[in-house]
Chains A and B, each alone.
Chain A
C-alpha cells in the first residue's frame, strides 16, 4: 500500500461555495497537496462519473506507474478523506461511526432542504420552505443537546475537530455566503441566539490554523 504522503488530489467543483466545501476543508486540514479545478459547465458535465460534481481524483505515484482513483458523491468522498486523515472519532467503534454519519446526514439534509426551497420550482417553494423550517428546527434542538452533552467545547465528539464539526462549519457557512444576501432573515434559525452551541463549533473550526486562508477567502465573498 502506498504511503498517504505520495498522493496528490484534484477536486473538480464549481467556483462557488456549496457541497464541495467539506472536501476542501478535509484536504486542507489533512495537509494534502491538491488543486481545485472548475470544469466548464455544462460542456464537461458528461465527463464526470455520473454527470455531477464534486469529483475527487487521487493521483498516486508508485515505483511502477502513476495511477489515479476517481470518486464521486460527497458522502463517499468526505468519509474517504476523513478516514484517511484521521477525522473520524473512534473509527473502530461502529456505533460511534454510525452516530457521526447520522449527525452529518442531518446537517446535509438541512442544507438540501434550504437549497431546494431557494432553487427549486416556484410551485413547490411554499412546501419546501415549510420542510426547511421544520427540518432546521428539529436539527437545531437535537444537535444543541448533543453538543452540550460533549461539554460545550465546540466539538461534537471528543476535544478535536472531526468530520461532523467540519460538515456543520462548511454547510452553514456555504448557506450564509450564498443565500444570506438574498434574505438575511432566512437563516435566523441557525444564528448564535437560537443555536449557540452550533455556532461555537463554527467558530472553533474557523480558528484552525490550517484554515486561515480558506476562511479569509470565504469571508470576502
Chain B
C-alpha cells in the first residue's frame, strides 16, 4: 500500500513532552519531519500558543492538512490511526490502557514542575512526585508481571503503552541523570524491574533504532 500521508511535528529541539509522539512516528515508519518553531516569535502561530503540534499532509493537493495540538490528543490519534491499541473493541481494556498512559503523563508533569520550580518550592513537588511514582510503579509492575513479563503491557506485540513506556523511561534517564538524579530512583532497576525489563526488550526492536539514535543526540530539556 502506498503511504499517502506525511507528517510535520512541531516541537522544541529538546527531549521533553513530545517524545512519545516522536517514538510513535518512528515506530510506524511514517514519513515525517521535526520542525522547531522560532520561540517565542512563532508562539502566536500555534493553536493555543503551545507545542507540540502535529500536521498531517495528505498526498492529495486538494485536501487541507489536518492540524492537531496537545501531546495527548496527538498520541491518541496516531495510536488509533495505526492500530496501536490492544483489543480496541473492548471498551474496558481501552480505558485501562488510557488510564495507564495517564499515570505516566502525570509523573512526567510533576517532574517538569520540579525542574522548573525555584529551589524553595522543589521539596513540595518532589514529595508529591515520589509518592505518586511509587504508586504508579506498583500498578505498572503488576500489569507487566500479569502479562508474563514479556516486555509488553498487553498481549505479545508492541502497543501504544509499550511505546510510551520506552519513550518515557529513556527520556527520564537522559534528562534527570544530570538535573535531578533522585527522580530516577523509583524508576530504577531495583524499584521497577518489570518496567526496566520491558524497556530493555523493546530497545532491541529494530523499529526503535532510529528513535533511540535521535533521542541520544537530542538536547536535554532545562
Q: Could you tell me which A residues sit within 8 Å of B by CB distance?
A: 49-52, 58, 69, 71-73, 75-77, 79-80, 83-84, 94-95, 97-99, 101-102, 105-106, 120-121, 123-124, 134-135, 138-139, 142
User: Do B132 and A80 touch (CB < 8 A)?
Assistant: no
On whether A121 and B99 interact (CB within 8 A), knowing A69-B92, A138-B49, the answer reads no
The A-contacting residues of B in range 89-119, CB under 8 angstroms, are 91-92, 94-96, 98-99, 102-103, 106, 117-118
Q: Does B204 contact A (CB under 8 A)?
A: no
Q: Does B76 contact A (CB under 8 A)?
A: yes
Which residues of the other chain, A, contact B76 by a CB distance below 8 angstroms?
97-98, 101
* Interface size range on B against A: 35 or more
- Bound-state CA distance A44–B189 (Å) is 29
User: Do A101 and B118 touch (CB < 8 A)?
Assistant: no
- Name A101's contact: one of B70, B94, B95 (CB within 8 Å): B70
Q: Name B80's closest neighbour in chain A (CB-CB).
A: A94
Q: Does B66 contact A (CB under 8 A)?
A: yes
User: Do A75 and B98 touch (CB < 8 A)?
Assistant: yes
User: Please, could you name 5 A-B residue pairs with CB atoms under 8 Å apart, sorted by A?
Assistant: A50-B132, A50-B135, A79-B98, A121-B117, A124-B121
Q: Does B69 contact A (CB under 8 A)?
A: yes
- Bound-state CA distance A76–B94 (Å) is 9
- Bound-state CA distance A76–B69 (Å) is 19
User: Do A50 and B48 touch (CB < 8 A)?
Assistant: no
- Name A95's contact: one of B48, B77, B121 (CB within 8 Å): B77
- Bound-state CA distance A77–B131 (Å) is 22
User: Do B121 and A123 touch (CB < 8 A)?
Assistant: yes
- Bound-state CA distance A210–B159 (Å) is 39
- Name B121's contact: one of A52, A71, A121, A142 (CB within 8 Å): A121
Q: Does B124 contact A (CB under 8 A)?
A: yes
A183 to chain B, nearest CB (A): 22
Q: Does B183 contact A (CB under 8 A)?
A: no
User: Do B81 and A75 touch (CB < 8 A)?
Assistant: no
Q: Does B173 contact A (CB under 8 A)?
A: no
Q: Does B136 contact A (CB under 8 A)?
A: yes
- Bound-state CA distance A97–B81 (Å) is 11
User: Do A98 and B68 touch (CB < 8 A)?
Assistant: yes
The A-contacting residues of B in range 27-78, CB under 8 angstroms, are 47-50, 66, 68-70, 72-74, 76-77
B164 to chain A, nearest CB (A): 14
- Bound-state CA distance A85–B98 (Å) is 18
Which residues of the other chain, A, contact B135 by a CB distance below 8 angstroms?
49-52
- Bound-state CA distance A135–B68 (Å) is 17
Q: Name B107's closest neighbour in chain A (CB-CB).
A: A50
- Bound-state CA distance A69–B66 (Å) is 36
B91 to chain A, nearest CB (A): 6
If A51-B135, A52-B135, A75-B98 are given as contacts, then 16 extra A-B residue pairs at C-beta distance below 8 Å, sorted by A number, are: A49-B99, A49-B135, A71-B92, A73-B99, A75-B102, A76-B102, A80-B92, A80-B94, A94-B80, A95-B68, A97-B76, A98-B74, A99-B68, A101-B72, A102-B47, A106-B70
